[in-house]
Structure 1
Amino acid sequence: MENHTKFRLSQFVRIGVLFLLFPLFHLVRCDGLGAVCTKVNSCECEFTDGSGVISLKTIASTNGPRFPYTKSSTPTDHYFYAYNPCNSFSDTYCQDVAACQRSEDGKEFFDVGDQESATFDDLGTTLTYASGGETPRSTIVSLICEISATTPVLEVIGEESQGSGKYKFNLRSNCACKNGCLGGGISAGSVLCILFSVGVILYLVIGILFLKFVRGSEGKEVIPNFEFWKDFPLLVKDGVLFLASGCKSDSNNYEQI
């Protein structure tokens, strides 16, 4: 009966450790794996795991296009393109657009995307705009994260293929990085990481000082709960195996303990 009680207690300890650690592991993920960047507005998306935001606000112009008319780098595309994230712009050629296409002589021009239609892909690496005209046209902006690119650079690729009505830009900027242009903002996961680290340090420092100078402990005995932390990796391992088995125990386990 005593062995049975010890076994049950050890299993509860292992499960408890897992339940304490699981929320922490879930919240402090820094790589954003599995997270989706959902649209907040026409130039911002936020990752569903709370790890950060992609924001182009600081590079947007409020007076005309941030990126003025530039000729396409595609030899078969002879048009020029202007683009502005976040805010619509109007000029001689287009009205209330995110991107505009015009011919070299200015006799032809087309709306190739408006702000209201802006959509992000799940990874926050592509921003797509659609035009409101009768002929379907769209602009696809690849957001290329470059921490050193504090001055954004727009590469105008031009029409994806002749007659496709799809136009491609590459935007290189630190603002294309997660939290790249938020003035050093800290995500919820980062805050939890900091709090957890500070808590562990305080726990160890205060515990060691108390055990050494109040209780007079020496050697490994000055480490708070030394026996628990020595067995901690095994507790986690056994807890995982126990949960994986559907919380069922083998009667042989009682004999092993």
Structure 2
Amino acid sequence: MQSLIISVIAIVHVLTFLEPVGGYTTNTGCSFPKYSDSAKDYPKLKPFIGKSYTVPDPSGKYVYTVAICGAVNGIDNVGAIQVDTKDSKKPPVILGYYNNADIISGTDWLYLEYLGGHTYNRHCGGEGRRAVIMFTCDESISDLHAQMIILEENNNKSADCYYLFELSHQDICPTKPSSNLSLGSIFIIVFFSLIAVYLFFGFLYQRFVLGAKGMEQIPNYSFWVDFGNLQADGCNFVCRSGENRGPRTYKGVGDDQLDDVEERDDHLLPM
């Protein structure tokens, strides 16, 4: 990762020798004098704008404060400072101004540089300090766990010295394409896919294993033939209530009853 950061810094240092093509100031305060890029060209920067980070030096001698496109401790245009913890009377050293910034964006990284800080006394040919903030991708780090660190102060050369900070965050990672399918669409696709698999392998089994011919090659053919009747029986069972009654029959006068009447009326006949 450090080799990537150093390579990017080298590219940016080459670009600094190009002539400015106009300036652009974002609504957040950052100005990029060398380029005419707009804020929309750097969507990875937006989640960090206005945030400030306190960065302790590993040696314990200094503490750094870095703000993203905002003022540090209310100091106008100052994006990064260095405070000497051993000497509280010593004024903060300004490492760079956010209204004199440089920026480059990659697929999974973002390079932000503040220029024009306090000049060196004995190093780097007396040039102005610069603070480089390298944003790198780490999907496991969110806002709650994001922490900026300082990797090095590179001042052992005659020019192009810098303070290098790193901030890893999941918002720097490439955006994964999201599916536009709803749950209902996914269910329908899966359902019909299963039906296709069922018909295909069922057909092969019926034809080549069981030796079926014609319509009998359809898997579970007898079940599908009776499917409509099964639905009707199920509806009848669920939707209808009450006991089944047998057909109502008409009880007429039987021959046995007629015989009894004739026997009872015999005395009425004339002799």
Q: TM-score with structure 1 length normalisation?
A: 0.43
Larger Rg: 2
Considering Cα pairs closer than 8 Å and 6+ residues apart, tell me whether 1 or 2 has the greater RCO: 1
Q: TM-score with structure 2 length normalisation?
A: 0.41
